Amino acid sequence: MEPKKRKVVLTGGGTVGHVMLNKLLIPGFINRGIEPVYLGSKKGIEKEIIGATSIKYYNISSGKLRRYLSSENFKDIFKVMKGIGDARKVLKKENVEFVFSKGGFVSVPVVLAAKSLGIPVYIHESDITPGLANRIAGKFATRIFVTFKRTLEYIPSDKAEYIGPVIRDELKRGYSKIGYELTGFNPDKPVMIVMGGSLGARSINQFIRNNLDELTREWQIIHLCGRGNYQEGLDRDNYKQFEFVKKELPHLITISDIAVGRSGSNAIYEFLLNEKPMILIPLPRSQSRGDQVENAEYFKEKGYAEVIQDEELDMEIFQQTLTRIDSNKEAIVDCMCKFEGGFKPQELVDLLITKEAQQ
């Protein structure tokens, strides 16, 4: 008789940040002879991203978790209850060893279903303060891994473990020669990389495009504008648009002198580990729970970045911020060099398997 196939469930969704780490872990599990299975929503970004891989994907029902009073909250209780039932069926059918959750509202019914079946749950929290989904799911977790040391203040000490950021090692293997070939840029003029492809980055994209003439006098700009946001007629010698990049990203980061964008934890740690000074423009509290504001302020405190609030973004303030970074660049990079920590995806897979073996 063939030995039973080892399996784990991955879950998380709603934003790219709640999905990409799970995607990075997939090869690591497969390399260890363990089959990853994904539980996500029927229409979320996780279905698009994970659907492009070869692993099994199961749709489950999920309600939206709101931080405000709404009649929809009552309706969504039933969606979550159905989601728990959906998840229980999959967990029993696949006979998984444990669940790894990255957060987002779709993860809550999966975690609750796992707890009801006695299946261990491991959670990863990227932001300083846990989101609502992870605050709920964390009550039922076996272990919660965190990216920021400060997050330990918000999680019971018997469950929390600091591991730092999970690093995409390939981002540190870029080649300047390829970066300049991709852009056609001049190696003697400084390069700014703008991450405008994230959810809610429209104001950053618009600001860069409205001020292209002035910005490109001093800078060459790599603009990662996001799918569907490419604007015809703007490309010029000192400005290059990309809707989306994959294997090109390490080379583009390598030739960049400064990074501009939102302050999702995955992206800002990638710039930190590549020692790129940053101008962070966090998604405002009016459009979020404030996690990006907290991330940005933390990076400013550490000396890694300057921060401009979205509602204050204009050319005068932006130029003043660029000047501050330019005059302090050596000190900023020195702070970045001193950062220690971080896991490669395979190392996190090994840690999860080890923790489970110790249960």
> Which residues on adjacent β-strands are paired with residue 10?
38, 100
The answer for residues whose C-beta is within 8 angstroms of residue 119's C-beta and 6 or more apart is 91, 96, 97, 98, 99
Q: What is the largest CA-CA distance in the chain?
A: 71
3-class SS of residue 100: strand
Segments in the chain forming alpha helices (H):
17-31, 45-51, 71-94, 107-116, 132-138, 176-183, 202-210, 212-218, 249-254, 265-273, 291-301, 315-337, 345-358
317: amino acid identity, one letter: I
Kind plus residue range of the DSSP H or E element containing 213: helix 212-218
CB of 204 closer than 8 Å to CB of 191: no
Distances (CA, A) of 198 to 17, 258, 283, 310, 346: 9, 18, 10, 14, 26
288 is in an annotated binding site: no
Among 179, 143, 180, smallest CA distance to 159 is for: 143
What are 307's two structure tokens?
A: 């921060």
Helices 17-31 and 345-358, packing angle to 10 deg:
70
262 is in an annotated binding site: no
DSSP state letter for 236: B
198 is in an annotated binding site: yes
CB of 262 closer than 8 Å to CB of 282: yes
- Kindly give the pairing relationship between strand 6-11 and strand 99-101: parallel
3-class SS of residue 325: helix
Among 230, 212, 222, smallest CA distance to 183 is for: 222
Buried b (16+ CB within 10 A) or exposed e, 270-301: bbbbbebbbbbbbbeeeeeebbbbbbbbbbee
Task: Compute the residue count for the chain.
Answer: 359
Annotated binding site for UDP-N-acetyl-alpha-D-glucosamine: 168, 198, 292
Annotated binding site: 168, 198, 292
